[in-house]
Every structure is written in C-alpha cells, then in structure tokens.
Amino acid sequence: MTSRAAVTRIAIGFALLALVYVAPWLIGYVSAGSRMMNCPGQETAPVDVVVSLDFRPGPTELEALQQYGRYGGGGGEATNVILLRTTPENRARLARLYWIEAVKPLKGCS
C-alpha cells in the first residue's frame, strides 16, 4: 500500500467519524421547527411543556431533560415528560434534540 492510499484511508475514516458526530445535531437543527408547537403569548414567558418521546425515558434521558426545566412527572403517558417553567431558549434547544418527537405546552394554546 502506498503512502497516498494510507493517507486517503485515514482521511476517509476521520470524515466518517465527523459525520457520525455532526449528523444528530444537523438532523435536530433542520427538523426543530416541526417538533415545537408555538402558541401566541408564550414567546417570552416560561411555560410548562410536555416533551414527547418515541421511547420510554430512562434515568439518563430524564437527567438530560432536567437541564431544560424542572421535572414534573410523566402526565400519565409512559413516553411523555413534563418540564416545568421552561424558558423560550430552552424550548428551542429541546426541539433541536434529535431524539425528541414533540415539545408542546402543557395547557395547550388559548
């Protein structure tokens, strides 16, 4: 194997590693708008939200979600997590997580 072929293989390996690292962030960023339900009048105030997941959250996911708001239970659904007093910035950050299905206000839009 020539040194050029070896360098090419190493470069391809690093490119694949970079893709694995960047892909979840990119998918979350591109699809964030479809995950978050915005209600008029709630753009600036902290609100309680329901975070819907495709799976039952374990301790790791619950701990990760607590960075965005105070844990408020599951609301009767095994795949939902209620976060209390979530700021608009944190709601936007939540919607960018690729493993979250939806972020909706707890009380709905009025």
Query: What per-residue confidence (pLDDT) applies to 95?
Result: 87
The answer to whether 83 and 71 have CB atoms below 8 angstroms apart is yes
Q: Per CATH, the architecture of 31-105 is what? A: 2-Layer Sandwich (3.30)
Tokens coding 71: 């844990």
User: Which bin fits 2, alpha (ψ -120 to 50), beta or left (φ > 0)?
Assistant: beta
For residue range 27-66, list pLDDT tens digits in order: 777 767 666 776 666 667 788 899 999 889 999 989 999 9
Query: What per-residue confidence (pLDDT) applies to 82?
Result: 93
Confidence tier at 72 by pLDDT (50, 70, 90): confident
Query: What per-residue confidence (pLDDT) applies to 99?
Result: 87
Domain residue limits, the chain:
31-105
The answer to whether 29 and 54 have CB atoms below 8 angstroms apart is no
- What is the arrangement of strands in the sheet containing 47-53, beginning at the earlier edge strand? 70-71, 80-86, 47-53, 100-105
